[in-house]
Structure 1
Amino acid sequence: MSFFRKHWPWLFFALVVLLFFAKYLDGQHIFAYKDLSRYFYPLRQLMVEQAWAGHWPLWNPYIFCGFPLLATLQSCVFYPVSVIYYLLPFNLAFNYYLIAHYFLAACFMYLLLRHYQLQKMPSVFGALSWTFSGYLLSVSNMNTTLSSVIWLPLVLMVFDKGLARPGYYLPPLSLLLGIMFLGGEPTIYYITAWILLAYALVFASNKINAVLYLFLGYLFSLGLVAIQLLPFLELSRLSDRVVRTTWEIVSFRSFPPRETLTFLLPYLFGNPTLPGNYSEALLGQQLQDWLNSAYLGLVTVVCAFAANWKDKKIVFFWSLAGTGLIMAFGEYTPIYKLLYTFVPGLGLIRFPVKYLFMTTMAVSVLAAFGFQGLLEERRRDSLLAWIFGLLVSISFLITLIFWLNLQAIYNYLVQQYPQTIPIEFFNNLANILQFDLLTMIYATIFLFIFWVLFLLFSKKKLKTAWFAVSLILLALADLVANGASIPVGCSRQVYEQRPDFYRLMQKDKQLYRFYYTHQLDMENRYLFGETFEQGLIEAKTNLAANWPMIFRLYNFMGYDSIRPLPLAQFDINVLTDDKLPRTHKYLSLFNVKYFAATKPLHLQGFRLISHKYQYGLPLYYYENRQVMPRAYFLNEKLAPDRRIGQAEIVLYDYDRVSLKCRTKKASLLFLSDAYYPGWQATVDGKAEHIIRANDLFRAVAIPAGNHQVEFAYQPASFRWGMIISLLSAVALLVIHFKTR
C-alpha cells in the first residue's frame, strides 16, 4: 500500500497512456497519419534492417539515387528510446516508440512540477495537461518533434537545479540536451537555448555563472552528439536547405491569429483527421495544416488564469506562453519578420506554428500552479466562484446565440464563397458548424461541472482530495475526448499490401530505378479514397515517396525534409513535365527503367505496361526499353559506349558496391549512384579518386584489362564525430566524479 501511495502518479500515467492508445498495443493497427506512413515507417525500418545486418545505418540507397541515412537526423539512430526498435517486432516497436514518449512526457513534466514544490495532485494535473494537449498529440505524426520536445521539462528542471550547483549538474544537463538533439528536431534544441538563457537572466543570482553554465552545457552536448552532428552539417551544406531560407519559405505555415480560438474550441475550423469535417478550400489563404489541434483544455486554461500573478515564476511562464504565440503567428505579425532578420539561425527554421510548444508547455505549468492555488485555503473565496459562474453564463449565452442563428450563420458564410465551389464543400461547412455547436455545448457542460465542483469545495461540502481527483478526471475527460481523433492509424495489412505494379517491378531482377512526372508527385501529396486506408493504398499504388522503400524499390528521387541540392536542381530544371519529350534520354542514362505519369506519354523507347483510373486520377505505367545499366563505360566524349567493355555488379549492399570489369582500353567507369563525400573507391585493392560525373554521379578511371572495383561509404564526418563524442563523454565523466 505504501508503494502505491508513493508511486501512484507513475502508475496512473502508464494506465492512462495505455488506455488512450489501446488499439495500437497489439500491432494489428499501426500509426499512419501523414509522414508516419510514407516517411518514418520506411526510414526506421531500413535503419533497423541495416543494424541487424551488421552495418552502421549510414546510407540509404533507395531514394535520390542514394542518400545519407544517419545524417538526416530523422532516423534517430543514436536516440536512446530507439532501442525499442531492436527489442520488439518492427510493427509493435513502431507503435510503442510513439506510445512510450507520451508516458515519458507525463513523467518529465511531473518531475518539473514537483521540483517547483507543487503537491502531487497539481503536478499530475499539469503533467496530463501537457501530455494530452492538442499540440503534443498532433506531433505524434511528426515524431521527431515529439521525441525532442518531451525532454524540455526535464531539461528545465536540471538547468534550474544547476543554477545553484552548475559544476555538479553540467554533465546531466549536457546529456539531456544531447538526447533532445538526437530526438531529431533541431528547432526544439535551438529554441530551448533561448528559453534557458531567459530563465537564467530572470532567476539566477549569479547571472554570469549561469550563462557560462548554459554555454558549457550546450558545448558539451554538441560534443556528445558530434557522431550525429558532423554528418548532419555535411549534408545540410550540400542540400537544398541552404537555398530555402527566403522569408516566404521560412514563414510558411504560420499560425493564423484566428486559430487562437481553437485553444478553447478545438476544430472550430474543422478537424483534418475526420472525413467531411475539414476543407482547405473553406479556409482561404490563412491556413496552416501542420498542427491538427492547438487545444489546451478548458479546465487547463481556467486553472492557468487562477495562478498567482504576483509570483515571479508565473510571470515568466506567462511571458513564455505569449512569446511562443507571437512567434507562432509568423507572417501575421511584423515582430517575427524582425526576429527573422536579426536573430541568427531563425532563418533556417520552417513552419512558425512549431513555436506553440512554448505556449503549450508554459500554460500546462501555469495550470498546475493555478490548480494548487485553488486547493489552498486562501484561494477559496467567493470572488472566484462568481468569476467561474460568469464564465459559465457567458459560455451558455454564446452557445444559445450560435444555436438560434445557426442557419443564418451558414447562409452568411455561403455567400462569402464563389458559387462555383462544388456542393460537397458546402456540405463540409454545414458539418463543421454542427460540430462547432456540439463543441460549445460540451464546453458549457464542462465549465458548469467545474463551477459546481468549485462551489461545493469552497463551501467545504467537498473534501480537498475529492475535489482534486474530480478536477483531474474532468480535465482528462475533456482532453481525451477532444484528442482521441488525432492519432490516426491503419491496419497492418495496408503496410503489407503489395500493389500489382510493385510485384511487376520486383520480378525484374536487374538493378534499376523508377520515377514519375512532377504532376503525379504533386497529386501524391494528397490522399484519394473513400476511406483513409483506401487513400493510403492508392498513394502507395501511385508510387508516392517513400512507400516503395518498404519493398526495397529504388527511386530516382524521393521524399525528405532536405534534398540533395544538385539532384533537386537537375530535377526542377531538366525533368519537368513539359521538358520530358526532349530530356527523357537522361532517364535512360541514369538507370530509370519504370515510369509513371498522369497523362499518356509518347517518348521514344517507352512502352505502356498498364493503365488505371481511380478516384478521378488516371495513371499510366511505362517501361523504358532503352534504359542503361547502373554501371557502364564512357568513351572520350563522355558518352556511354558498350563496345569499350563490360561492368558487372556482383554486390550491391547498403553502403558498398562491388563490380567486375573488363575493358579493352583505359576508360571511365560510370556508376549512376549519387556522388557524395565519404564514398571511396578502390581498383584491384588500390585507392582510386572518384570523379564527379554529370555533377550528380560517380566515375573512376579504369585501365585496360580485367579489374575488381569497389565503392565503399566510409565518411570522415562519422569517424571524427565518433572520436569527438567519445572524448566529450570522457570529459563529462571526469567532471562528474570531480564535482560529486
Structure 2
Amino acid sequence: MLFGAIQALQIITFEPLLLQCNLWLLAGIALFYLLESGERTNALRRILRVGVVGWMFGLVLAAVQILPTLELIPRAVRGAGFDFDTISSWSMHPIDLVNVVVPHLFGDPYTLDRADYWGESFHRGREGYLVSFFLGAVALLLSILSFLSPRRNLQRTLLGLTLLSLFMAAGEFNPFYRGLSEHVPGISLGRYPSKYFLAGALALAVMVSLGLEVLLIHEARGSRARRGVLAVAFSGLICAALGLGMHAYFQSRPHNLEAWIESMADPKRAAAKNFPVVASQLNQSLRASGIFLGLSSFLVLVSRFWEHPRMSPVLLVSVLAGELIPANLRVVPLMSDRDVEFVPEVITYLTRRGPNEIYRIVQLDSPLQTFSGIWAPNRSWAWRIHFTRMSGQPMYGIMSGLQYAVFYSVDNLNTRDSDELYGRAFRLQGADGLNFLGRLNSRVLLTTSEIPYPGVRVMAVLPTNTDRKLKVYWLEQMSPRAYFVSGVESVHSHKEALERLSQPDFPADRMVILENSGVDTKPGDEGAGNARVLSYQDRRVLCEVDAQKPGYLVLLDSFYPGWQAYVDGKEAQILRANYAFRAVEVPAGKHRVEFSYRPLFFYAGLALSCMGLLFGIVSIFWSGGPNGFKAVLIYLKSRHKKLKAKNGLLA
C-alpha cells in the first residue's frame, strides 16, 4: 500500500523524466532485494506481486489526475510529443562532470545579461537547466571509498543507477539518445535530459553513506581493506595538491585563465562578459575544492589512528556540510516573497479604472526578450522577475484578476488551439493583427513599445522601475465575450476555420464559423439580435439573448469537453465556433442560455480515487498484524465471551 501511495504521488506530479527516474530507483531496489535473497524464486514472485498490486493501487489513487490528463493530452501541445531538438535541449554536457566536483564552474547565471556567466556555449546559449551539478569533492571521495564496502550487491546496484542516469542525462551528447527517444515510450513527452542526473545524485548520496561505513569497519576487515583506504586517501591528497597548484598558478597569472575562458565562451556574447570576475570566481572554486578534498583525504588517512573510530566519519560529515551548504546557497537566486507576491500597478489600475465589461488582455512583448539594453536598479535575477510582473507578463503565472487572450507558455502547458492562436496573432502584422486580437475578446494591450496603428489609444503609462514604461492600450474594435449572430460560414476543417478567422474581411459581428456542422453557409444581418452576460463564473456562465430571428449565441470561451449548454432549461448542443470557441443555436425571441461545466472524466477519476483510498484504509486496518482492525475485532469478541461467561456465573 505504501508503495502504491508513493507511486500515486509521483504520477500526480506528472513529470515524465522524474517518473522514469523513480521507476529506475524502484527497479534498483527490487534488483538489490533479489540479489540479497537466498530464495530467488520466492523473492521474484514477491517483487512481481508488490509491483503489480502496488502499481494498480497507485493508478487508482491517482485516477483523479490521470483521467482528466488523458482527456487533455490529445488537445495539448505536448500530446504529440516533441521533436528531438526540443527533447534534447538542456542536455548534460561532458564538461558538466567537472561541475560535480568544482562549484560555480560557469560563474553566476543570476544576472540579467549573464555578465558573470560563461557556460552558454555548452547549453545552447543559455544557463544550464540544472544550474548546478555540484556534489562536492568530499562526496566524491566517500563514493570512491564505497567500492571497498562488503555490500557488493548494493554498491553495484547504486553504481549501475549512477551510470544509467549519466548515460541518459547526456541527451544530445549521447549517440543513442535519438533512437531511444523515437522508440521508447515516454521519453518524447519530457524535456531537458539533465534532469536524469537527479537519480544519479540520489544513488551517489547512498554511496557516500557506504563510504562512511567503510571507515567504521575497515580496521576489522584486515590489511587489504586498510591498504585500500590508504590508497584512496593518498590519491585524494595528490589530486588536492594538483588543484591547489592550479589555483596558485592562475592566481599569479590570471590573464591565462581569462583567455582560456574567453576562448571557450560564446563569441556572440563575449562583449557583455566580465571575464576578470568570472576567472576570479572559477579560481576561488578551484581553491575551495582543493582545500576540502585535501582536508577530507587527510581525515581518511589518519582515521586509523583515532582512539574512537566514529570520530573520523563525524568530522567528515561536518566537512561535507561545510563544502556543500555555502556553495549550494550561492546557486539560489536571492529573492524574497516581496519579489513575487505583490500586486503590480497594472493590476491595480485595470481593477479600478479598466473597462467595465468582460474582456481579455494581451501582452505584446516577448517574455524571452533580452535585458541587456534595459536600465535597472540592479542586475539580479530577482529584478527580472519583478520587471516581468510589473509589465503584466504571465510567464511566471497568470496574475490574479487578469484574463489573457493568448500568451506564450515556456513549458507548452497550453492547448494546441491556444498555441495556434498565439502564433497566428503574432504573425499577422499591423492592423490585421490588431483586428485578429479583437476577435478574441482582447480589449487591453500591454507593451513597453509604441503601437503606431489606428484603432488603439493609450489608457495609461505605468512605471516598471526601469527606463521603460508600460503602456496600457485600449483596442477600439473588440468582439464582446458573448454576442448573437444570424449568419453562418460552414468550413470543412479545423485549419480552414483558423484561416477564415484570420482574414480581415470576415464579418465576425454578423457570422459565425462552424466546422463540419452540416449547416449551410448563409449571410448574417446587422441588428439581428443582441446578447449579454448575466453571470460569469469559473464553472457557470449565464447569458440572455434577444433574437429577432433564429441564429447563434457565440461565447468566446474555450471549446472543451465537460461544458453543457441549456436554452431555457433544455439541453442544447455546443458547437465549435470560430476555431476555438463555443456557439449554441437559439430560436427567435428572448431566451436564457446557461453554460455549466461538469467534467465527466474528473468526477469518474475522483470516484475511483476515493474508492482506492477507502480500499487502502480498510486494507491497513483489516490486516492481521497486532494493530490491525481484524485483531481488534478478535479482541472484542474474546472480551464479549469473557463478559458473557462472567455474567452466567453471577446468575
TM-score range, shorter chain: 0.7 to 0.9
Shift of 1:417: 6.5
2:329 to 484, 506, 516: 484
Per-residue Cα deviation, 1:243-300 (whole angstroms, up to 9, x for no partner)? 3421111111111111110000021112223674225656574755311111112211
- Residue-pair matches, total: 565
Residues 1:383 and 2:217 are matched in the alignment = no
**Unmatched runs of 5 consecutive residues or more in structure 1:** 1-170
**What CA distance in whole angstroms lies between the structure 2 residues aligned with 1:420 and 1:731?**
60
Report what 1:726 is aligned to.
610
Q: SS in structure 2 opposite 1:623?
A: strand
Contact 1:598–1:618 (Cα < 8 Å) also in 2: yes
* 1:548/1:263 CA distance change after superposition, 3 Å: closer
Q: Which moved further from structure 2: 305-314 or 432-441? A: 305-314
Q: 1:466 aligns with which of 298, 306, 311?
A: 311
Structure 2 counterpart of 1:57:
none
Decide whether the 8 Å contact of 1:674 with 1:697 is kept in 2: yes
Instruction: Give the Cα separation in 2 of the matches to 1:475 and 1:583.
Output: 58
Query: Could you tell me whether the CA contact under 8 Å between 2:142 and 2:211 is conserved in 1?
Result: yes
**SS, match of residue 308 in structure 1:** helix
Whole-angstrom distance in 2 between the partners of 1:389 and 1:312: 29
Residue 659 of structure 1 aligns to a residue whose secondary structure is strand
Aligned residue identity for 1:172: L
Corresponding residue SS for 1:257: coil
Task: Tell whether the 8 Å contact from 2:120 to 2:127 is kept in structure 1 after alignment.
Answer: no
**Contact conserved, 1:270 with 1:278, CA < 8 A, in 2?**
yes
Give 1:564's aligned amino acid. Answer: T
Q: Measure, in 2, the Cα distance between the counterparts of 1:682 and 1:380.
A: 81
The question of whether the paired residues in 1 share the 8 Å contact of 2:485 and 2:554 is answered with yes
Residue aligning to 1:25: none
Q: Matched residue of 1:668: which SS?
A: strand
Measured against aligned partners, the alpha-carbon deviations of 1:680-724 in whole angstroms (never above 9, x if no partner) come to 111222211111101201111122222222212110110110122
Counterparts of 1:325-724 in structure 2 under 5 Å?
A: 325-376=166-217, 377=219, 378=221, 379-381=225-227, 382-414=230-262, 423-425=271-273, 427=274, 429-460=275-306, 463-506=308-351, 507-508=353-354, 509-517=356-364, 520-523=366-369, 529=376, 530-532=378-380, 533-546=382-395, 549-558=398-407, 559=409, 561-572=412-423, 574-597=424-447, 599-610=449-460, 620-637=471-488, 639-641=508-510, 643-724=527-608
Contact 1:328 1:356 in 2 (8 A): yes
Q: Deviations over 1:89-134 (max 9, x none)?
A: xxxxxxxxxxxxxxxxxxxxxxxxxxxxxxxxxxxxxxxxxxxxxx
Alignment CA distance shift 1:413-1:445 (3 Å): closer
1:421 CA displacement: 5.1
In structure 2, runs of 5+ residues without a counterpart are 35-39, 490-507, 511-525, 626-651
Asked whether the equivalents of residues 236 and 562 of structure 1 are also in contact (C-alpha less than 8 Å), the reply is: no
Query: Which residue does 2:116 correspond to in 1?
Result: 277
Q: Is the 8 A contact 1:374 1:380 kept in 2?
A: no
Q: For residues 561 and 473 of structure 1, do their structure 2 counterparts lie closer, same or farther at Cα, with a shift above 3 Å needed?
A: farther
2:89 aligned with 1:252: yes
Q: Contact conserved, 1:271 with 1:292, CA < 8 A, in 2?
A: no
Task: Tell me by how many angstroms 1:448 deviates.
Answer: 2.6
The two structures have a TM-score, normalised by structure 2, of: 0.80
Secondary structure of the 2:335 match is strand
Residue 223 of structure 1 aligns to a residue whose secondary structure is helix
The structure 2 residue matched to 1:318, chosen from 159, 172, 184, is 159
Distance in 2, Cα, partners of 1:683 & 1:510 = 23
How many percent identity over aligned positions? 23
Displacement of 1:499: 3.9
Cα distance, 1:333–1:422 mapped onto 2, change above 3 Å: closer
The structure 1 residue matched to 2:22, chosen from 188, 192, 207, is 192
Q: Give the deviation of 1:520 after TM superposition.
A: 2.5
Cα 1:316–1:571 shift into 2, 3 Å:
same
Q: Distance in 2 between matches of 1:419 and 1:327?
A: 29
Aligned partners of 2:486, 2:286: CA distance in 1, in Å? 74
Cα deviations across residues 479-526 of structure 1 (Å, max 9, x unaligned)?
101011233353444335444433332222321111133x53432899
Hey, what's the Cα distance between the residues in 2 that align with 1:286 and 1:329? 17
d(CA) in 2 for partners of 1:448, 1:217: 46
User: 1:184-206 deviations in whole A, cap 9, x for unaligned?
Assistant: 52432233224423543454223
Q: For 2:484 and 2:610, how far apart are their aligned partners in 1?
A: 43
Report the equivalent of 1:220. Answer: 57
- AA paired with 1:177? Q
Q: How does 1:10-21 map to 2 (within 5 A)?
A: none
- Higher mean displacement: 277-286 or 397-406: 277-286
Q: Is the 8 A contact 1:513 1:591 kept in 2?
A: yes
- Letter of the 2:203 partner, please give it: A
The one-letter amino acid paired with 1:515 is V
Matched AA of 1:581: A
User: Given that residues 595 and 623 in structure 1 are in contact (C-alpha distance below 8 angstroms), is that contact kept between their aligned partners in structure 2?
Assistant: yes
Q: Secondary structure at the match of 1:710?
A: strand
Question: Aligned partners of 2:323 and 2:202: how far apart in 1?
Answer: 18
In our comparison, the structure showing a higher alpha carbon Rg is 2
Distance 1:679 1:480 in 2: 51
Q: Which secondary structure state, in structure 2, belongs to the residue aligned with residue 464 of structure 1?
A: coil
Which deviates more, 659-668 or 410-419? 410-419
Deviations 1:212-237 (A, max 9, x none): 43233222211111011111121112
Structure 2 distance, partners of 1:349, 1:616, is: 39
Matches within 5 A, 1:54-133: none
Residue 620 of structure 1 and its aligned partner are, at CA, apart by 4.5
In structure 2, what is the Cα distance between the partners aligned to 1:422 and 1:622? 38
Equivalent-residue separation in structure 2 for 1:288 and 1:234 (angstroms): 35
| Aligned partner of residue 650 in structure 1, secondary structure | strand
Instruction: Decide whether the 8 Å contact of 1:520 with 1:598 is kept in 2.
Output: no
Q: State the match for 1:240 in structure 2.
A: 77
Whole-angstrom CA distance in 1 between matches of 2:582 and 2:370: 30
Instruction: Report which structure shows greater RCO (CA 8 Å, sep ≥6).
Output: 1
Could you tell me which amino acid in structure 2 is paired with residue 544 of structure 1? Answer: Q
What SS is found at the alignment partner of 2:595? strand
**Structure 1: distance between partners of 2:139 and 2:86:** 34
Task: Write the letter of the residue equivalent to 2:238.
Answer: L
Flag the 1:224–1:414 CA change in 2: closer, same or farther, 3 A. closer
Q: What residue is the counterpart of 2:140 in the other structure?
A: 301
**What is the CA-CA distance between 1:409 and the residue it aligns to?**
2.7
RMSD: 2.9
Aligned in 2, Cα 1:183/1:637: closer, same or farther, shift over 3 Å?
Answer: closer
Superposition TM-score, scaled by structure 1 size: 0.71
SS of residue in 1 equivalent to 2:350: helix
320-329 or 655-664, which moves further after superposition?
655-664
